[in-house]
Amino acid sequence: MKIESKALSDSLLANFAPKKNGDGTADFGALLKHAETKQSEGAAELEKYLKMTPAERMTKAMLNKLGISQADFDAMTPEQQAAITAKITQMIREEMEQKMAQKPGATSANAI
C-alpha cells in the first residue's frame, strides 16, 4: 500500500539545513518547530486516509492513476463525472480479471 503525502515528503526531503542566525549559529528551535508542523500535517493526512472506507481509498487511487484530484473531479459536470466513474469501474474490473487470471485453477473472468 502506498500512502502519498506531500506534507510527509516535504518534511523528509526539504529544509534539512538549519537556518543560520545573524551570528552564524544554527537556529535549531526554528528547525524543530518546522519539523513538528510538518509531522502533524503528515499525521493528520494519515488519519484522514485511515478513516476512509476501502471503496473511498480505491476511488482515490484510481483518480490518482488518471491524474485527477478529488477537487478536479468535484468541479466536473455530472456527465464528466459519470464518464470518469465508468472509466474507474472498467479499471477495477480489469485489475480483478488480471488477478483472477494469475490464480491457479482460475475459471472464466466473466464469473466476476
Segment 37-69, tens digit of pLDDT: 777 788 888 888 889 999 888 888 999 999 999
The angle, 0 to 180 degrees and rounded to 10, between the axes of the packed helices 28-50 and 6-13 is 150
**% of the chain at pLDDT higher than 90:** 35
Please indicate, yes or no, whether the overall pTM of this predicted structure exceeds 0.75.
no
**pLDDT value of residue 101:** 92
**pLDDT value of residue 9:** 54
Q: Where are the domains of the chain?
A: 1-51, 53-112
**pLDDT value of residue 43:** 82
70 or 10, higher pLDDT? 70
Cell representation of residue 75: 468541479
